[in-house]
Amino acid sequence: MAKAKKKVAKSKQGVSKKTARPKPRPQGKKPPRPQAPAGAYVPPETFSRRAHVKSMAEYEKLHRESAKNPEKFWAGVAKELHWFEPWTKALEWKAPHAKWFVGGKTNLSYNCLDRHLSTHRRNKAAIVWEGEPGDVRTLTYQQLHSEVCRFANALKSLGVGKGDRVAVYMGMVPELAVTILACARIGAIHSVVFGGFSTNAIVDRVHDCQAKAIVTCDGAWRRGSVVPLKKTVDEAVEKCPTIENVVVCRRTGNDVAMHPGRDHWWHELVAGEKDTCPATPLDSEHSLFILYTSGSTGKPKGIHHTTGGYMTGTYLTSKLVFDLRDEDVYWCTADIGWVTGHSYIVYGPLANGATSMMYEGAPNHPAPDRFWEIIERHKVNVFYTAPTAIRAFIKWGEQHPNKHDLSSLRLLGTVGEPINPEAWRWYHAVIGHKRCPIVDTWWQTETGSIMISPLPGATPTKPGSATMPLPGIFPEVVDKATGKAVPDGEQGLLVVRKPWPSMLRGIWGDDKRFKDVYWSAVEGSYFTGDGAVKDADGYFWIIGRVDDVIIVSGHNLGTAEVESALVSHPSVAEAAVIGVPDEMTGHAIAAFVTLKDGKAPGDALKDELKAHVAHEIGPIAKPKQIRFTGALPKTRSGKIMRRLLRDIASGKQQIGDTTTLEDYSILAKLKESDEG
């Protein structure tokens, strides 16, 4: 025992060297693993040994088998979950419309809760929640089940039933998870609107899906102050004639106006309700939720997901990618207002019977070490966050994580944007202490669950690459004109060739837009909107949204590559590049750059950065303009809004749709930013 422990402590994640000779092994043991690509980070053997998927050979076998018969593969996964009635057909595919597990009846709330109550998990923590002020709540599976049942009964008492849409506008409190699980329990369709959005965002989304009720909180804590959610809802509901009832969960205790007959306190509603509510057996294709994503232009798209397939996809990917173990504390730092929170705070982890950590507030409140303090306090084992957060941590300095014991961590993940290799290495070294594999997970609101990602016990990782498709997923990088795969190492469009269970079923109320946006670029394939390169080892490198690709003298430059080059300079914290019209080259690169704390801007640094990019990539990628700025415009989920930067660079007075922008004041600051 002592010996094994020592080994764990010593085992660091090694960088493979092609020249390394495989160690001789005792007879009868497994053969040595196939060699990893040069320079790749190989999963520590201690990790692989206990992982769900233990080797590349195992991964390859899974993927090969899933390719032979994807329907059989996915049916095998779905069978691990509870179905009230079995399906008759795994897939009905009338492109671009898929139906999975046709005729089957199930319930996702049942699979996240009831399924565990007859097992050792009954009294296990389902949700460990920490409020921004420091309060902590733990809900066991049994307790969460009771809360969900009570609230499901309360919704029913308000006349909410199967197929009705329920808008949800809450902070990150356990009741948010309870609300969506209660909707799923009775077959009501939830539409979560991120709690940082404005009145108009609520109005547009409620209108689009004709929601009949809205669940909110009095307020939410954010950096020590109260965000008055109910007030915003009141303004919105004035313009939303479909809303019949408003449920208000008390969190911050601020004064709110309650409209008699329309508004109900959560605690009063549930007080009289029973803590049992049988989960409704729902058709596999019954609508589960709508989640709006802002398109590059125009009105947000209501991405529509259904029950059985989404359940199957989030269940499998949570298990394999996060390698969930019963004893883990797993923490995804996303907001539930974003798809990552739906799939990887609530549904995926709970379907696996995991302990899901949830945090209410800002990462730098009261101090920039809040996340590391949470990890230390709750002994978090698996940590999943976004590159934008990692770049902020780098900017704030490693003294903050270094103050804390992070030894509980065994696995790290990222999602949301391409991660710059520089940020990846920092995450690996400073947070993971070179012990923890990193899963860089590529997926979308539309895909419902993770599509391209390392399996942490199997896949050697290359910083900046999301590596390879998960079993049952068949992406390809194709030529725009022919739709055929491009040769390895060449850029093309990232498409998915075959349907998968958690794929979107459409855009709510707009089938034409669904076909135009996703199914018209490449015949017969789902177009992701992203550009990518697959290298000779079969690794996928996402180079960003194709709308953002910059064409300089006929060369396509992905934003990720140029931004990574800038961020690899020791003074740079974050960068965003865009194309600006140029007489000579068609387009030239303009870069918006934020510096690490303590670094000073100046013309000398501009020249240095230009030279640095030219050196890293080539003269073609050298930015023509560099602007230093305190911050970049981002969506709340942390994605840089290059579209707004283009508007600013071209001197437009009227800036495009900004309803998803995190911090409006950044726009004003950017307009002032120094040019040249």
Q: Is 165 helix (H, G, I), strand (E, B) or coil?
A: strand
Nearest approach in angstroms of CB 343 to ligand 7RM is 8
* Interaction pattern, residues 236-275, with ligand 7RM; x per rule: CB under 6 A: ----------------------------------------
- Close Cβ partners of 24 (under 8 Å, ≥ 6 residues apart): none
| Distance (Å, whole) CA 246 – CA 261 | 9
> Quick one: 442 or 508, whose CB is closer to ligand 7RM?
442
Nearest approach in angstroms of CB 529 to ligand 7RM is 6
Exactly one of 293, 312, 355, 525 binds ligand 7RM (CB under 6 A); that residue is 293
Exactly one of 127, 321, 339, 357 binds ligand 7RM (CB under 6 A); that residue is 339
Q: Is 340 in the site for ligand 7RM (CB under 6 A)?
A: yes
Locate the DSSP E strands across 435-547.
Answer: 438-440, 475-478, 491-496, 506-507, 526-534, 540-545
- Close Cβ partners of 396 (under 8 Å, ≥ 6 residues apart): 364, 368, 597
Nearest approach in angstroms of CB 208 to ligand 7RM is 17
Q: Is 508 in the site for ligand 7RM (CB under 6 A)?
A: no
Nearest approach in angstroms of CB 415 to ligand 7RM is 5
Nearest approach in angstroms of CB 414 to ligand 7RM is 6
- Structural contact between residues 589 and 549, judged by C-beta atoms closer than 8 angstroms: no
Going by C-alpha positions, the residue among 550, 567, 573, 546 that lies closest to residue 621 is: 550
Helix (H) / strand (E) containing 351 = helix 348-351
Pairing type for strands 220-222 and 165-169 reads unpaired
Q: Which stretch binds ligand 7RM (CB under 6 A): 188-196, 197-205, 325-333, 416-424?
A: 416-424
Q: Which stretch binds ligand 7RM (CB under 6 A): 126-134, 153-161, 196-204, 410-418?
A: 410-418
Nearest approach in angstroms of CB 465 to ligand 7RM is 9
Q: Is 542 in the site for ligand 7RM (CB under 6 A)?
A: yes
* Interaction pattern, residues 516-535, with ligand 7RM; x per rule: CB under 6 A: ------------xxx-----
Q: Is 381 in the site for ligand 7RM (CB under 6 A)?
A: no
> Quick one: 336 or 542, whose CB is closer to ligand 7RM?
542
Q: Is 454 in the site for ligand 7RM (CB under 6 A)?
A: no
Nearest approach in angstroms of CB 651 to ligand 7RM is 27
The DSSP secondary structure of 278-312, one letter per residue, reads PPPPEETTSEEEEEEE--SSSSPEEEEEEHHHHHH
Q: Is 491 in the site for ligand 7RM (CB under 6 A)?
A: no
Exactly one of 286, 545, 569, 622 binds ligand 7RM (CB under 6 A); that residue is 545
Cβ neighbours around 112 below 10 Å, total = 32
Question: First CA to last CA across the chain, in angstroms?
Answer: 63
Specify which residues 355 forms β-bridges with: 329
510 phi/psi in degrees, rounded to 5: -150, 75
- Sign of the C-alpha dihedral, residues 330, 336, 338, 339? positive
* Interaction pattern, residues 458-477, with ligand 7RM; x per rule: CB under 6 A: --------x-----------
Q: Which stretch binds ligand 7RM (CB under 6 A): 180-188, 216-224, 369-377, 437-445?
A: 437-445
Tokens of 539: 């690794």
Q: Is 639 helix (H, G, I), strand (E, B) or coil?
A: coil
Q: Is 548 in the site for ligand 7RM (CB under 6 A)?
A: no
Task: List, in sequence order, the alpha helices (H) in 568-636.
Answer: 603-616
Nearest approach in angstroms of CB 421 to ligand 7RM is 12
Q: Which stretch binds ligand 7RM (CB under 6 A): 3-11, 124-132, 250-258, 413-421?
A: 413-421
* Surface-to-core class of residue 402, CB atoms within 10 Å of its CB (0-12 exposed, 13-18 middle, 19+ buried): exposed
Binding site for ligand 7RM (CB under 6 A): 293, 339-340, 415-418, 440-445, 466, 528-530, 542, 545, 637
